[in-house]
Amino acid sequence: MSREVFEPGPGKLDATGILNVNMRAVLTAIASNPGGSAADVARATGLSGSTVFRLVSDLLVRELVLEGERIRGKRGQPGVSLSMNPEGALSAGCQVGFGDCYLFVRSLGGRVLAEQEFAIEQCSYQHVSVAVANAYKAVLAEIGGDQIKPIGLGIAVPADFDRLCQLVMGVHDDPWSEEAFRTQLERLLDVPISTYSTGSAGAWAELASTPPPRPADFLYLFVDRFIQSGFLLDGRLWTAPHSRHGSLGRTIISEAKAKLYDLVGGQAWMEESTNGGTSQTEVTERWARKAARALAIAVQGVSDTLELPLVVLDGTLPPDLMDALAEQLAVALPPICWASAPQVRRGSAGPHSPAKGAALRPLYTEFFAAEHG
């Protein structure tokens, strides 16, 4: 059910809600300052010493926090050093592609415990849900999932997956439905399922992989078979309302009389290759110029409207193609931007960034912040 924009929202948090907020604050403080004491956590969070003591005790029982040596050299009773347990929880992430998929399990501290690549032959929700479920069960068996299971499985699915997938694999009998896919997968697996667009999941992974000070605002572009996009705005992941996925790929590039989907990505590269050339380098340069021009036109409107300072480019294409596209985009943007052109840089999370972001997001919302975008 939706509400009117100016209608008052939910009331104040109940006791459970307050407890969860405080727990996240404490765990965030411990993760940000490993080796600090409970008193340090109290000062960082503004919570009382007794509240922090109760929450730390609960986190120790849940094995999310570890105790170390006593901290000496300070006034008062020596405290015990605290740190987040990097193996205290697990999460899984899956990157659904146009044929090739990737799934892995990671620890709270980021260690990859198991991974598996697998293929899909059609893009109906029933076929994809079974393929993902089988891959998930396989990786869980590899790490002994009977003893401990992930707190969630995040799935990164391309925006406009149904239409784009049919261009690659042909028409299928059952239409794609993300809601039906999620429901079916939850029936097949005993784990909470979250779905994100490929661009949004990749943007979150990029934020996490960037060392401080992290950028609060950027446009993230993931170049796969077709281009995908995501936003970080004021340090928060932007997601389209009502569980839909917005996409820059839908932009009509009038001078090319085509959508951005048709002009940027592996599909466009393959089509450009069929036009021939004296060398692979010539084909790459020609594709990169065309793709960068179209991408610059699409990015300009968003960048000037939101005054974004940064565009991050990542993807699954070979490094020489990604480098050429980034270089050409940096050249194509300044002449058409009304405000200062955003900086263009290559991403740091890599070709599996959507899977990484999809796995990280459930951990973040469970243990560090309740916001979902």
Q: Are residue 248 and residue 306 in the same domain, yes or no? A: yes
Domain count, the chain: 3
Q: Given this model, what pLDDT does residue 78 score?
A: 58
Q: Are residue 60 and residue 126 in the same domain, yes or no? A: no
Average pLDDT rounded to a whole number, residues 260-287 = 88
Higher pLDDT, 78 or 106: 106
User: Residue 2 pLDDT more than 80?
Assistant: no
Q: Is 1 a member of any domain?
A: no
Task: Classify residue 106 as exposed, middle or buried by CB count within 10 Å of its CB (0-12, 13-18, 19+).
Answer: buried
What is d(CA 156, CA 198) in angstroms, rounded to the nearest whole number?
A: 5
Q: Given this model, what pLDDT does residue 175 score?
A: 77
pLDDT band at 180 (very low <50, low <70, confident <90, very high): very high
Q: Are residue 330 and residue 359 in the same domain, yes or no? A: no
Mention every residue, 6+ apart, whose C-beta is less than 8 A from residue 366: 89, 151, 152
Q: Is 210 a member of any domain?
A: no
Q: Are residue 76 and residue 106 in the same domain, yes or no? A: no
Q: Are residue 222 and residue 343 in the same domain, yes or no? A: yes
pLDDT band at 371 (very low <50, low <70, confident <90, very high): low
Q: Given this model, what pLDDT does residue 319 score?
A: 95
Q: Is 45 a member of any domain?
A: yes
pLDDT band at 153 (very low <50, low <70, confident <90, very high): very high
Q: Given this model, what pLDDT does residue 239 score?
A: 82
Average pLDDT rounded to a whole number, residues 37-62 = 93
Q: Is 3 a member of any domain?
A: no
Question: Domain of 144: which CATH number?
Answer: 3.30.420.40
Q: Given this model, what pLDDT does residue 372 score?
A: 42
Q: Given this model, what pLDDT does residue 242 score?
A: 64
Beta bridge partners, 231, equal 219, 238
Q: Given this model, what pLDDT does residue 317 score?
A: 96
Contact status, residue 245 vs residue 161, Cβ threshold 8 Å: no
Domain span at 253: 216-347
Q: Are residue 170 and residue 229 in the same domain, yes or no? A: no
Query: pLDDT for 343-365, tens place per residue?
Result: 999 999 999 999 999 999 999 99
Average pLDDT rounded to a whole number, residues 293-310 = 95
Q: Are residue 269 and residue 164 in the same domain, yes or no? A: no
Q: Is 208 a member of any domain?
A: no
Query: pLDDT for 217-234, tens place per residue?
Result: 999 999 999 999 999 999
Q: Is 302 a member of any domain?
A: yes
Instruction: Pick the range with the lowest mean pLDDT from 149-153, 207-211, 237-241.
Output: 237-241
Q: Is 24 a member of any domain?
A: yes
pLDDT band at 14 (very low <50, low <70, confident <90, very high): low
Q: Given this model, what pLDDT does residue 5 score?
A: 47
Q: Given this model, what pLDDT does residue 1 score?
A: 38
Residue finishing a domain among 52, 84, 116: 84
CA dist list (Å): 214 to 136, 155, 232: 32, 25, 11
Q: Is 150 a member of any domain?
A: yes
Q: Are residue 32 and residue 123 in the same domain, yes or no? A: no
Reported pTM? 0.91
338 CB neighbour count, 10 Å cutoff: 11
CA dist list (Å): 182 to 79, 157, 227: 46, 11, 23
Higher pLDDT, 47 or 1: 47
279 CB neighbour count, 10 Å cutoff: 8
User: Residue 3 pLDDT more than 70?
Assistant: no
Q: Given this model, what pLDDT does residue 127 score?
A: 93
Which stretches within 189-279 are classed as H helix? 198-209, 266-273
Query: pLDDT for 79-113, tens place per residue?
Result: 799 999 999 999 999 999 999 999 999 999 999 99
Q: Are residue 131 and residue 161 in the same domain, yes or no? A: yes
Chain mean pLDDT for the chain: 89
Q: Given this model, what pLDDT does residue 58 score?
A: 95
User: Residue 240 pLDDT more than 80?
Assistant: no
Query: CA angle at residue 54 from 49 to 59, to 5 degrees?
Result: 120
Edge-to-edge strands, sheet with 218-223: 236-238, 227-233, 218-223, 310-315, 343-346
